[in-house]
Every structure is written in C-alpha cells, then in structure tokens.
Amino acid sequence: MSFQFTKWQGLGNDFVLVDCFKETITDCNQLAVAVCDRHFGIGADGLVTISSSAVADFHMRIFNSDGSEAEMCGNVTRCVARYVYENGLTAKTKISLETGAGIIRPELIFESGRVVNVRVDMGEPKLTRGVIPVTGQAKDTAIHIPVEANGVLYYGTCVSMGNPHCVIFTDDAAGIDLPLVGPGLEKHELFPKKINVEFVQVLNAENIRMRVWERGAGITLACGTGACAAVAASVLNQKTKRQVTVHLDGGKLFVEWGDNNHIFMTGPAIEVFRGEYRR
Ligand SMILES: N[C@@H](CCC[C@H](N)C(=O)O)C(=O)O
C-alpha cells in the first residue's frame, strides 16, 4: 500500500494525517502500528484520517500508535482544522468535525493573515462513572478516588472529554516515573476502556504543570483532551480558577472552562513535512 501523507504536531504530540478525499487506506488499526513506529515507520503518536461527514464539515478518526482507535484527540482537532483550511478543503474558519465523541468545533485564529493558533470548543466534560467509564455506580462521580498501582496509592479525579482521563495531583510532576507507573494505571481494573493518566502539579491558581501517559500511546509531549480534563479536575478540587495555562513537556495550552460548561482549548498546530508512505 502506498499513500501521500502530511505530518503534523501540536506541542510535540505528532500525527500522520491522511486526506481520504485523495487517498484510500484500509486496516487502519494495523496500519497505525506500522506507520507510527519510530524506527520502521514514519514515526508518530497517532494516525489520523480525514473524510466526508453527513453531520459535520468533516469526519476525523484517530488511531493510537498501538492500533487502538480513540474517540477524540484535542491536538489532532487543531491540526485537522488547519489542514482542511490551508489545503482548500473549506473556506470556513470555524469548522465542525465529526469525531467518536460527537461534533467538535475548532476555530482558526489569525495574525497578519496567517493562522497562529486554533481555539477549540471541546464540549462539556462528563463526570459520571457510567460515561467516563469508571466501575461503580453509573451516576456517581469519581472525584479524588483511590487508585493503587505498583504498590503506590494515588488519588485520581476522572473526567471524560469524549475519551477517558484520570488526573492525579502531585507536588513534583517532573519526579514521576511515567514508564513505571503509567501502564498499571492505564490498564487498572477500575477503567473498563483503559484510561489516559495525567500527573498535575498546581503552580498557582492560573498555571498547572502536566505530564501525561496516554492510553494506547504511552508518554507523549502533550495531550489536548488531557489538558482540558486536568483543568476540570483542578477546578473541581478547588485548586485553580477556570482559566488556566497548562504547561506540558511540548509547550503551553490555554484552557478555559466557560460558564456554558463547555471547555475551550487554544494552542498551535504545525505541519512538519509531507511524504509518501510505501510498504
Ligand atoms: N493526544 C490526544 C489524545 C489521543 C487519544 C488518547 N491516547 C486516547 O486513547 O484516548 C489529545 O491531544 O487529546
């Protein structure tokens, strides 16, 4: 199989985008593993397809580097929005994207005629165990719940941003041994669909430091949905205001939890290169 692709990154969370208006690809789960391999493939955290939608401007699907399909990805929404605009697939600057988590609405932000950032309406955070999902009573929340992994007891706040997140507060995000603790938390029996894990250090009421172990991808330099979940968890635990800068290994995202209960995320989306994949 061969196909043209573009490679994108949002704060170092990197993706291979395939424009399915031009290209046909099959077996995306298996293909993602091959394409994302950093030695034998292109190298990426995920494979993304863009195609037509009956309910939105475009349909995007996200496959993690382990081949699993994710419902949503914040950093990808920014990259896809910029791709469809700059490649003439739409003249709209407010775009609707059908995802596994419903319709998500990115908006391009311009300076001197150039796209500099993308602001995304990420929708409402979902807090009940049945929706996230977390085992237990479906209607209950999972705020500050005990989660044990590798013999260490953590307290996590679980939030769905269309995909599942467990946010754990720490005094030292840099000191967390993610490869050691990430896999056990991701696959913990509390989480029937596994989970993305965010370690969050509160710097002050408007700034948090976050490191992430992603479901299906391991350590990444940034996670957009994770940053939104982290801000929701920080507010719910009375640690920050509702407008917060999230400092990730790959850079900064600005996240605000609006009065309409929607979370908005603003950050960059950068095309890195174009190529042809051959296998
Ligand atoms: N990096 C992404 C999230 C990608 C999907 C995630 N690994 C999952 O399986 O839910 C983001 O920016 O949100």
Q: If you measure from the C-alpha of residue 239 to the centroid of ligand 1, how many angstroms do you get, rounded to a whole number?
A: 24
Best residue among 215, 255, 263 to mutate for probing ligand 1, ranked by most atoms within 8 Å of CB: 215
Out of 3.10.310.10, 3.30.70.940, 3.40.640.10, 1.10.10.10, which CATH number does the structure's domain 145-261 have?
3.10.310.10
Residues of the chain with pLDDT under 70: none
Q: If you measure from the C-alpha of residue 212 to the centroid of ligand 1, how many angstroms do you get, rounded to a whole number?
A: 10
Both tokens of 67, joined, read 């081949």
136 is in an annotated binding site: no
Q: What local confidence, expressed as pLDDT, does residue 279 receive?
A: 85
Both tokens of 241, joined, read 């205001």
Per DSSP, the three-state class of 196 is strand
Told to judge if 73 belongs to the known catalytic residues of this protein, a careful annotator would answer yes
Q: What local confidence, expressed as pLDDT, does residue 1 receive?
A: 86
Q: What local confidence, expressed as pLDDT, does residue 214 receive?
A: 99
Per DSSP, the three-state class of 60 is strand
In words, the CATH class of domain 2-123+267-278 is alpha beta
In the chain, CATH 3.10.310.10 sits at 2-123+267-278, 145-261
How far is the C-alpha of 181 from the C-alpha of 258, rounded, in Å? Answer: 33
Q: Which residues of 206-215 are buried (b: 16+ CB within 10 A; e: fewer)?
A: eebbbbbbbb
Task: State ipTM.
Answer: 0.99
Both tokens of 34, joined, read 């091959």
Query: Distance between terminal CA atoms of the chain?
Result: 6
Told to judge if 28 belongs to the known catalytic residues of this protein, a careful annotator would answer no
